[in-house]
Amino acid sequence: MAGFGEKLRLERERQGYTLAQVSRETKIRQHYLSALEEEEFDSLPARVYSIGFVASYARFLKMDTDRLVSEFKHLAFANQPIDLPTPEPSPGRIFGFPVGNVLAAVIFLAITLWLGNYVADFITQRSINPPSQVQQVTPPTAPVPPDVGPTQPAAEQLTLAIQATQPSWVQITVDGAVQYAGTLAAGENQSFTGKEKIDLRTGNAGGIELYLNGVAFQSLGAVGQVAEHSFTRVDTSTETAAVPGPVPNLDAPAALNLVIQAQQRSWVQVEADGESVFAKTMAEGEIQAFNASRRIELRTGNAGGISLTLNGQPVQSLGASGQIAEKEFRSDSRGE
C-alpha cells in the first residue's frame, strides 16, 4: 500500500499536475510540497502551517482531507508530547486554610504583580509607545527678519524628512493614506512626499528632527511629549516657522512600502530584505507599515482578515477568513 507522500504524488501525477502548477494554485511553496511527497517532515514549517498545507493540498487534489491530515499528524508529530488537562482540585483545605481563602490570596497577588509590571512598563516606554491621547501642538512662530521682500509662493509638492535622535513612535499619513506607523530607532531616517498634505503624529516630539522641502522645521515639543502636526504647502512659504539648517544625508526612499490593516484579529509575520521585522497577532483595526528595498515576505494565519496596500495601491485579498497564506512582494515586480 502506498505511503502518505506517495499517495499525494501518485494522485497529482494521475491528474496531470506538476509541483509548480500546484504551488501556483494553492499558494504553497514548491519545496514544501516536495517535502510532503518525500515525507521530509523536518523541512516543513511550524505544526499549524504544516497541517494547513496538507489540508490545502488534499482539497486541491479532491482527496479525503480528514484522513490525510490525521495520517500526517500521526507520522510527523507522533513523538510530540500531548498536554493533558490538569484535574480540578477537590474541595477541602490547603495547609489548613480553606481553599477559597487560598485562591483569593493567589488572585490578589497576581493582580498586584500585573499592575506593578504595567506601571513600570508605562513609565519606561512612555517616550516610544503610540500615544493614546494626542495633544495638538502648534510650533512656535520664528521671527521674520526685516526687509525679506515679497512672500515666496508655496512649493508644488511636500517632502517631509524625519531624523530620529531618540527612539520615537511616529505615524505618517500622506494625502489621506497611511504611509508609515512604527518606532524609529535613534539615528534612523525616513522621507515622505505628498501633493497636498502630510499628517505627522509622534509620541516623542523632542526625539525627532524635521525637514520640510530641505529646510529644518521647528521642534513640535519636548522629549516624551505627544504631538501632531499637518504640513501643507502653506508651510513651505517664507512666512512659516521654517528655520534654515543642514539637511541630513537620507537614503533613497524604499522601493517597497507595504501597509497592513487588520479587519479581524490576525496573526502576521513580515520579513523585509531577508530580516524578520514583525511577528505577532494584530488586533482588529490595527495598522502596520513596512519598507524594503528589494523584497517583503508576508505570512498570515487569517488571509481574509487583513487588507494590504503596496506603494499606495490596494492588493487583492490573499484568501478567505481563517485561511493560511503567504505572499512575496519584490521591487522588480511589485508582488505581481
pLDDT digits (tens, 9 = 90+) for 82-133: 444 444 444 455 555 665 666 777 677 777 676 666 544 554 454 445 554 4
The DSSP secondary-structure symbol of 195 reads: S
**pTM of the shown model:** 0.33
Let me know: does 288 contact 268? Beta carbons within 8 Å.
yes
Closest CA to 239 of 158, 150, 157: 150
pLDDT less than 50: residues of the chain: 82-91, 119-120, 123-124, 126-128, 132-135, 137, 140, 142-152, 238-252, 335-336
Query: CA torsion, points 310, 313, 318, 322, in degrees to nearest 10?
Result: 90
The answer regarding whether domain 158-243 maps to CATH 2.60.60 reads yes
What CATH number does domain 4-76 carry, 1.20.1260.10, 1.10.260.40, 3.40.720.10, 1.20.1050.140? 1.10.260.40
Distance CA 50, CA 69 (A): 10
The string of pLDDT tens digits covering residues 48-68 is 999 999 999 999 999 999 999
Options 2.30.110, 3.30.70, 3.30.1240, 2.60.40; which CATH number does 256-330 get? 2.60.40
Distance CA(126)–CA(204), nearest Å, equals: 8
Distance set, CA 109 to CA 100, 114, 122, 123, 190 (Å):
14, 9, 20, 21, 45
**Residue 294 grid coordinates:** 528589494
Tell me if 4-76 shares its fold with 158-243: no
What confidence score (pLDDT) does residue 248 get?
45
Distance, CA of 183 to CA of 74 (rounded, Å): 44
- Cell reading at 32: 514544501
Position 149 scores a pLDDT of 45
- Centroid of chain to Cα 152: 41
- Determine the pLDDT at residue 243: 45
pLDDT at 109: 72
- pLDDT of 134 reads 44
**Which residues share a beta bridge with 101?**
none
**pLDDT for the residue 252:** 45
> How does strand 227-232 pair with strand 197-202?
antiparallel
Give the start-to-end residue ranges of the domains of the chain: 4-76, 158-243, 256-330
Q: How far apart are CA 325 and CA 257, in angstroms?
A: 20
| Joined grid coordinates for residue 191 | 522621507
